[in-house]
Amino acid sequence: MEINNVQLHGVGHPVLLLPGGAESGDGFFPGLIEGLTADPGCQVIVYDRPGTGTSPADGALADAASHLSSLIDRLGCGPVVAVRQSLGGAVAVLLARDHPHNVAGLVLLDPTPLNDPRTCARLERTTRLLAGAAAVPGVHSLLSAAVRATAARVARRSTLRPDCAAALARTARLDVPTLARAVRGITALSRDLRETDLPRIPAVVVTADRTPRSRVRRAHARLAQAFGAPLVSWPGATHSVHLDHPDETLATVRTLLTPTGPPTGP
């Protein structure tokens, strides 16, 4: 069922999906909707916030958390378990900090490390530069071709499930200017974030298979500690962990929907 750009699937405990970057939620998490509506039985909410995906409205990253909280209030479905990847994970952190009454749990899938200002500043700067380059005639086509070729190589090496390979191919059709607008302001948001302000709620932080010395992995470990959550990493997991480990992703989300919940973190 779709109401005002909101897709509702199934009945039961509400689970809000939010994709990474400026992508649409439609098809972003292969198998997750079907798996959660079947077991344990959930109402899965798919929504493209303003400025992303198929949303007809403009929106800023700084307003994303308050907008989503208003959506949850309007639907009357809170608190929700929020499942977010990449930039969606950063939004989830802000939602939990600013509107904890609307968040029953978090699954952060290799989230953009909002608690690391240096990484966020580099991300905002890089996307801004790429968006500027994409405005040059011919450069946008070259960038798009390079992203698609990289995605195709990853799909071949990882032997992705067909639906996951298709999802990766869709995200490879990257709209760099839209992504740059979606990321705009993340540097300031990151500087204002204090890990001590994050609530202790049921959560799991999934990080890609990086070296323990990785700056991103260390930021993810601090996020997990702030939420009182476990830090999980699967062998061979990439930034697109929901695509190269879809079964493990589904199982992880289910842990937050069981009476016992996830194991506690450090």
State residue 47's pLDDT score: 92
Is 157's pLDDT higher than 70?
no
What is the C-alpha to C-alpha distance for residues 84 and 100, in angstroms, rounded to an integer?
Answer: 16
Is 151's pLDDT higher than 60?
no
State residue 36's pLDDT score: 97
If you average pLDDT over every residue of the chain, what do you get? 90
What is the C-alpha to C-alpha distance for residues 58 and 11, in angstroms, rounded to an integer?
Answer: 30
Query: What's the whole-number mean pLDDT along residues 196-215?
Result: 96
Query: What's the whole-number mean pLDDT along residues 218-230?
Result: 97
DSSP string of the chain?
Answer: -EETTEEEESSSEEEEEE-STT--STTTSTTHHHHHHHTT-EEEEEE--TTSTT-SS---GGGHHHHHHHHHHHHT--SEEEEEETHHHHHHHHHHHH-GGGEEEEEEES---TT-HHHHHHHHHHHHHHHHHHTSTTHHHHHHHHHHHHHHHHHHHHT--HHHHHHHHHHTS--HHHHHHHHTTHHHHHHH--GGGS---SEEEE--S--TT-HHHHHHHHHHHHHT--EE--TT--TTHHHHSHHHHHHHHHHTTSSS-SPP--
Token code pair at residue 67: 């907008």
State residue 133's pLDDT score: 81
According to DSSP, the residues that pair with 204 across neighbouring strands are: 107
Is 123's pLDDT higher than 80?
yes
Is 152's pLDDT higher than 90?
no
pLDDT tens digits for range 48-107: 999 999 898 989 999 999 999 999 999 999 899 999 999 999 999 999 999 999 999 999
Is 135's pLDDT higher than 90?
no
Higher-pLDDT residue of 96 and 140 is: 96
